[in-house]
Chain A
Amino acid sequence: MQKLLDNGNIVIDDKALVERCRQGDSEAMHNLIVKYQDRIYNLILKICRNRDDAAELTQETFVKFIENVDGFKGKSAFYTWLFRIAVNLTYNHCKRKVKLAVHSLDKIADYNLDSAKKQLLDYLNDDKQPDPAQIAQNKEAAEIIYSALTRLDEDQRVVIVLRDIEQMSYNEISETLEIELGTVKSRLSRARSNLREILDSVIK
């Protein structure tokens, strides 16, 4: 089905839009960019933790998508293909900027973030705590989480971002990263465990 009804509006599915992109339809390109720009931007931002870099890499992702739209065979979902482009670009970018990421954590460790730390500590150990969104809205608390993420290996950081932030299924992660399902499972488990250890070391 090409057209889906979404809140009364007609939404054309990705496959049809991609097909139109192939034929040089700029409106279809526009629609796809608008549809995915926030998700791609956030994905990259969560991985590389730099807004300028994230903006630049997001642009690059869409440029690559348009340049290589003929290479999309439709074997996987369009958005996993798009995310793969974004992840690969970000991987390469992170390899060049690994020292900056470590440096940013050192800076955070020096902050007087007692309140944020306590909030996080309480939340992680008690399920009767308030809505996590309230904590995440705390700028310092969010910064601690982001900093902890940046201390993870890139592979683990990406997999945890795709699962816990982007809410991708294991299959989708497997398609996006082109790795086995079992690898997704074990890598995600290690990523969660490591992230917890990092957070513990920061907030305790």
Chain B
Amino acid sequence: MSKDNSNIEEKLSAFLDGELNDRKQNEIKRLVDHDENIASMLLNMTQQKKLLGSLPVEKAPSTLLNDVKSRLERKLILDDYPQTIKTAAGVRHLMVRKILTSAAMIMIPLGLLIFVLIHILAMPSGSDNEIVKSPSKSVVIPSEHGTGDLPAADNGQSFFCGILELETEDLIGMNDYINKTIYDIDLVDDTVPQRKDAESIYIINSEPMKIKILLNEVAAVWSKFTDSQMTVFGQNVNNTIIVEDVTLVQAVSLLDKKNIFDCMETARAFANRNSIFNDLTYAGLIESSSPDHIMIDTIENPIKPILTNPNRKKTVNLQNGKRNLARLTIIISTPE
């Protein structure tokens, strides 16, 4: 069929359906009037259209309505209903998951932010340790260096915080002795022990008196330690004084100080004194075994050991019920 024929047929078809505008309608009328072929085409088209339009209309099956209803009921009961339930449950599940995820996405950063803020606000001293406070006492979770927030004191000044580092060839023996002593003088609850390969750490948060008792007991084995060092902390970890070759007398003396300022002053004096002593020893001007360096009998007002008994806790003087906490971290290690 040529393109022209196809075009004419399309126009005739639209003409037949009355879908042309008046101008085109008149144009086709004129064409039909003057062209027999086109008139014949139009006739065929018209007859065919009439024929198709006259085809008998059949009635839909009488059961159709009921069939539709049955089908809907069947779908509802067998397919759609459980599916709807499952879909609803699935949607609920997804919603809950979305809500929980959203809540987690909000709460986790918020929690972290709050934690950081609390951490910053609660640590004016800038210490890198974490403190878990209980109503009765402070428990310090030590950092690797054994430093941390200074224990709270009732008067805000009379506390002590230090690290006593001791070196010994008999690490096992010294550990046994310290452990036993801690148990005997009822410091178990106040002590957090840590063990490393060649190092034992005892972080003791207790009344200064109890710690002094411990040191008094340590005096019996002090000669087993080949080196000693005491680090005393001031108001913050940046304010520290290291007393090398500290003696037991010096350590106990530092614990005896009434406030941190006296403690720091004394520590500074001990540090200078020991440094000068070491220089003199190195220069051969004095004996290395200076009586003052090893004299443990010079402890002022030595504390009598408390005998282990079921009532020993009651015998500890808590200074009229006030707990002036001190923290001493004892690090016992083998020489490098």
Contacts and interface: CB of A to CB of B under 8 A. Distances in A.
Interface of A: 30, 33-34, 37-38, 40-42, 45-46, 51, 55, 58-59, 62-63, 66, 120, 123-127, 129, 131-133, 135-137, 142, 145-146, 160, 163-165, 167, 169-170, 185-186, 188-190, 192-193, 195-196, 199
Interface stretch (B51-59, B90-98, B115-123, B319-327): B51-59
B6 A189 contact: yes
A38 B51 CA distance: 20
B317 interface: no
B313 interface: no
B60 A58 contact: yes
B141 to A, nearest CB: 61
Given A132-B53, A170-B17, A196 B68 contact: no
Contact of B68 (A33, A120, A186, A192): A33
A36 B80 CA distance: 25
What band does the interface of chain B fall in when counting residues whose beta carbon is under 8 Å from A? 35 or more
Contacts of B67: 55, 59
B71 interface: yes
Interface stretch (B42-50, B173-181, B229-237): B42-50
B75 A164 contact: no
Contact of A142 (B55, B61, B64): B55
B145 to A, nearest CB: 69
A145 B52 contact: yes
Contact of B64 (A37, A120, A195): A37
B297 interface: no
A100 B9 CA distance: 31
A196 B51 CA distance: 12
Contacts, number: 119
Given A129-B47, A164-B49, A185-B10, 13 more contacts: A38-B60, A55-B61, A126-B47, A132-B47, A133-B54, A142-B56, A164-B53, A169-B19, A185-B13, A188-B17, A192-B49, A195-B48, A196-B48
Contacts of B55: 46, 136, 142, 145-146, 165
Contacts of A190: 6
A192 B51 contact: no
23 contacts: A33-B65, A37-B65, A38-B60, A41-B64, A45-B58, A55-B61, A55-B64, A59-B68, A63-B72, A123-B51, A125-B44, A125-B47, A126-B47, A127-B47, A132-B53, A136-B56, A146-B55, A164-B52, A167-B53, A185-B14, A188-B13, A189-B6, A196-B44
Contacts of B56: 136-137, 142
Interface of B: 1, 6, 9-10, 12-14, 17, 19, 43-61, 64-65, 67-68, 71-72, 75
Contacts of B71: 59, 63
B36 to A, nearest CB: 13
Nearest to A185: B14
Contacts of A169: 17, 19
B75 A63 contact: yes
Nearest to A163: B17
Nearest to A123: B47
Contacts of B53: 132, 164-165, 167
A145 B59 CA distance: 19
A189 B10 contact: yes
Contact of B59 (A30, A38, A131, A170): A38
A56 B179 CA distance: 91
Contacts of B9: 189, 192-193
A45 B59 CA distance: 11
A136 B6 CA distance: 28
Nearest to B61: A55
Contacts of A137: 56
B13 A189 contact: yes
A123 B72 CA distance: 46
Of the candidates B13, B43, B45, the one having the most CB atoms from chain A within 10 angstroms of its own CB is B13
A132 B50 contact: yes
Contacts of B6: 189-190, 193
B82 to A, nearest CB: 16
A113 B250 CA distance: 131
